[in-house]
Structure 1
Amino acid sequence: MKILVVEDEPKLAGFMQQGLLQAGYQVQLSNNGTEALNKAASEIFDLILLDLMLPGMTGIDILKNLRAFKISSPVIIVSALSGTSQIVEGLDLGAVDYIKKPFEWEELLARIRILQRKIYAVESTRISVNDLVVDLMTRQVMRGEKQILLTAKEFALLEYLVRNTNRVVSKNQILENVWNMDFDPESNIVEVYMYQLRRKVDKGFENSLIETVIGVGYKLTGTKSSL
């Protein structure tokens, strides 16, 4: 699940980013309304966590523009505002939920899981690529009859590959979408995690699904379908 956190308070934004990454989500940050709208218009996010009091463009303005541009990413308002009118306006403009600052971290995660269940009640939670089956809701991974146990970060990496089946993704794209990091030519974190993931997903099977495209990146290859 790819989440855009729109929050201009640096400490809170960093706390939310770190917590969501540890929970296995892909995270991007934006600290002003104009940038957030540009990101939402140029990329697909499964969820936007939106503060209302922002520089550049308010959260209410963002919601109005999301509706005008027909951007369907679900929005949860995360705000210190206690006035009922703005919260009601935000919900009327399409936000699916509201949580008041300061909030309990486990409550925010629970709200996200509730939203996931609603989304997956309509969409399939299970994706197969050849004999690999990934359940995005339960985070269970099977290959053939074998269950594959992954860490939160390994699952996030596999989910990104599955969502981009048969497309080559670069190291830079992986760092940005799975680790929310800018490209660092000295870092080998992608290589380390990719080695671990390939060892779990491909080792012992006749056909390898994860390919290294030399000088370009990586690719998960196969026939993709929803179950």
Structure 2
Amino acid sequence: MKILIAEDDNRLRKNIVHIIQKEYHQVDSVDNGQDALDNTVFEEYDLLILDWMMPEYSGIEVCQEVRKRGFSGGILMLTAKDDSSDIVQGLDAGADDYLVKPFKMEELLARIRAILRRREKPIEQVIGVKNLKLHVDSRTLFRGNEEILLTKNEFLFLEYLFINKGLVLTREQICSHVWGYDHDTTNNNLDALVKLVRKKIDDSKEKSIIQNVRGIGYKVRETHV
């Protein structure tokens, strides 16, 4: 896989290049948006990692421009902004995912692997389970026309279960997806998160959509019988 890193923090950029090369990827790196755009003209990349704030052109502007040109590879945004409106702006510009600074390198590698897997086998952008529809691109959940507001962790949890509906996900898999690969969360943290999500999405007259698989983890229950 060939990856372009565009990040104006020299130390961070060198660290990212080093860790990605250890995964046997080819890596080019630049420190501004103009060079990032120029590189995409002459090279074919599987993934772009773009800092949100860079000299010349921002990561958002680079993302928008390369998508206009027909770039079909993955795009991961690195940002210090974690407001939901900023996140939606990045996704609407064509990014596949975002990572909020500061982050752990293990989480960066996990996001890279996930984007490259999705590019090889694209996932549904709207995933339905019973009367719920989860919009992956805008990171929203609806029951009919009513939006169900979710926190970041609540969405990450549901997204992981919906994308893998029909499969049992272990507690460790879920915790790594929601809190990162170096998480120090406990089973109680996960159970508390599940309880909050169930309260928001379940019909009290029916079994929970989120099924507890004893001794293993959780899965999406696609029927209530």
TM-score (norm 2): 0.52
2:92 match: 113
Q: Which moved more, 1:166-175 or 1:180-189?
A: 180-189
Aligned length: 171
Deviations 1:7-56 (A, max 9, x none): 7969979xxxxxxxxxxxxxxxx943364367798xxxxxxxx9647xxx
More displaced stretch, 133-142 vs 105-114: 105-114
Identity of aligned residues (%): 24
Q: Which letter maps to 1:111?
A: G
Q: Cα deviation per residue 1:128-177 (whole Å; 9 max; x = unaligned)?
A: 112222223261321x6765332232122111111111111112111211
2:136 corresponds to 1:163: no
CA positional deviation for 1:220: 0.7
Q: How does 1:80-99 map to 2 (within 5 A)?
A: none
CA distance in 1, matches of 2:181, 2:76: 28
Change (3 A) 1:198 1:37: farther
Corresponding position of 1:134? 134
Equivalent pair of 2:210/2:221 in contact (CA under 8 Å)? yes
What TM-score do the two structures reach when normalised by structure 1? Answer: 0.51
Q: After the TM superposition, which residues 117-196 of structure 1 pair with which residues of structure 2 at under 5 Å, given as runs?
A: 125-136=125-136, 137=138, 139-142=140-143, 147-182=147-182, 184=184, 186=186, 188-196=188-196
Give the 3 Å change call, closer, same or farther, for CA 11–38 of structure 1 in structure 2.
closer
Alpha carbons 1:7, 1:31 under 8 Å: kept: no
* Distance change in 2, residues 1:192/1:123 (3 Å): closer
CA contact (8 A) 1:6 1:32 kept: no
Where do 5+ consecutive residues of structure 1 fail to align?
14-29, 42-49, 54-58
The Cα of 1:76 is off from its aligned counterpart by 4.3
Please list every run of 5 or more consecutive structure 2 residues that lacks an aligned counterpart in the other structure.
Answer: 57-61, 97-121
**1:198, 1:102 → 2: CA distance?**
30
- Secondary structure of the 2:160 match is helix
| Relative contact order, higher structure (CA 8 A, sep 6+) | 1
Distance in 1 (CA, whole Å) between partners of 2:207 and 2:123 is: 29
- What's the Cα RMSD here? 5.2
